[in-house]
Amino acid sequence: MNDVPLHRLFHHYSEMPYSQRVLYTATLLVLGMGYLFALLYVFHTYAGRAGGSPLMLTYHDIVAGYSGTGKGSVIEGALRGPMRNMAPEEEVNRVVAWAQAGASPVAYQSDIAPLIVKRCLICHDGSNPHIPNLSSYDEMKKVTAVDTGTDVFTLVRRSHIHLFGLTFIFYVMGSMFSHAYVRPIWFKCAIVGVPFAAIIGDVSSWYFTKLFHPFGWVVILSGAILAACFAVMWFVTLYQLWFSRTPRPVLERAALNEAGIE
């Protein structure tokens, strides 16, 4: 399998002009930075969502993110999860206690509304239809309901962004990686193709997790596969672009071409 001859359309990085190699390198650096920030965002959004340590992302956090805790309110899940750094713990506890006590309108006006104005309305003023509106008691009352996780419409909105965005990223990464000399061929093809199956598995499992919690493991596995394939393509492509020797089969083919032998 390792002796498979080079395809006639295969061009190694060493055969490319420097301008194209610089283009690939710049693209790799930007995409690599973007992927790291995406991982940090996912960690910050879900770590501690189920009530555990905010410094560790667990299966239960993933389940709570998509299907809710089934115990606390929506506002409590947000303040204990992704919004935990937006207010001091003492203020978070006051809002959570208010929600747990029945969300009294009197207590809202005297104690909760000033906190919401101070900490939340800069974003949650109703101007963005994709995030909760917290500008009035009636709107706040909605987020004191039991946390059932991300609603289906929000998942649909995230799905098309996720599908289009990741497909584009892995198409670009796969196109650059296709010029790497990697053997066996089946391994190279797997690294290129598997991420697209993982994208479908990841997005599909968001919905299935709401119905059957163990699909949370599929979300985790799909994310791990995507990260692993991205890392392999990123490091192999960058290494072969600038640091590795030209593979022997590429040199032999170049010599044959110079000699006029097809």
Domain segments of the chain as ranges: 13-45+151-258, 71-142
Structure tokens at 149: 């996780």
**Dist CA 170 CA 172 (whole Å):** 5
* Cα 138 to Cα 116: distance, rounded to the nearest angstrom: 13
What letter would DSSP give residue 15?
G
Per-residue pLDDT tens digits of the chain, which is 262 residues long: 456 788 888 999 999 999 999 999 999 999 999 999 999 989 988 888 777 777 788 999 899 889 887 667 888 877 776 677 788 888 888 998 898 888 898 898 989 999 999 988 888 888 887 788 888 999 888 888 877 778 888 899 999 999 999 999 999 999 999 999 999 999 999 999 999 999 999 999 999 999 999 999 999 999 999 999 999 999 999 999 999 999 999 998 888 777 765 5
Please tell me the predicted confidence (pLDDT) of residue 2.
59
**Contact partners, residue 261, CB within 8 Å, separation at least 6:** none
pLDDT computed for residue 262 by the predictor: 52
What would the two tokens of residue 156 be? 């649909």
- Helices (runs of H) and strands (runs of E) counted in the chain: 11, 0
Strand stretches in the chain, DSSP E: none
Residue in the block written with tokens 């929600």: 99
Token pair for 66? 């998509």
Residue type, 233: M
